[in-house]
Amino acid sequence: MRIEEITNTSDIDKLLSIVETYSKTTEELNLSKKQFLKELGEAGNNRHIFIGFKDDVVVAMIQIILNNADNDPNLANGKDIAHLHNLQVRNELQGNGFGKQMIAFAEDKARQMGKKVLTLGVDDFNERAIDLYKKLGYEIFKESLGRFPGERCFDMKKAL
């Protein structure tokens, strides 16, 4: 897999091509587009956005946030703690190791940036992702309310 950093809003279609592989309404896709445009506006400074290609097809994405992830210095403090955000793999390609490769790449980049700890957040119902993160050495250090009633979010971290 080839991995590249993107910083330009003209790359939004590459990000959306992953999201579109999930059952999304037009409204959900528009919300994703709006969010990606905001995130691309921060790219290069506080946020690094990476996409993975296999045979010129975008298969995965991940972001590294350096400071103020969810306004929580325990998630990203601008110094030695950074936050992994929005790991996504094309729906039909999950389970082929692309997520694991994206995380390994992001961990290497974070080390190069001098980070000592990486954090991430995951919804409690996403058992597959939680299992992956645990296998890769991440541990739950905090729980909070999820986006919807009855949901929880686990914050996980790993020393690099």
Cβ atoms of residues 11 and 40 within 8 Å: yes
Identity of the highest mean pLDDT range in 31-40, 70-79, 103-112? 103-112
Task: Give the pLDDT confidence score for residue 139 in this predicted structure.
Answer: 98
Query: At 147, is the pLDDT very low, low, confident or very high (cuts 50, 70, 90)?
Result: confident
The percent of residues in the chain predicted with pLDDT above 70, rounded, is: 100
3 state SS of 94? coil
Phi (first) and psi of residue 23, to 5 degrees? -70, 100
Residue 24 has pLDDT above 90, yes or no: no
Cβ atoms of residues 54 and 96 within 8 Å: no
Calculate mean pLDDT across residues 119-137.
95
3 state SS of 148? coil
Q: What is the pTM of this model?
A: 0.93
User: DSSP 3-state helix, strand, coil percentages of the chain (rounded to 5)?
Assistant: 35, 35, 30
User: Pick from 121, 120, 119: which is nearest to 145 by CA?
Assistant: 121
Residue 154 has pLDDT above 90, yes or no: yes
Name the token pair of 126: 């996403």
Cα–Cα distance measured from residue 64 to residue 71, given in angstroms and rounded to the nearest whole number: 15
Query: At 138, is the pLDDT very low, low, confident or very high (cuts 50, 70, 90)?
Result: very high
Beta 117-123 vs 81-89: how paired, if at all? parallel
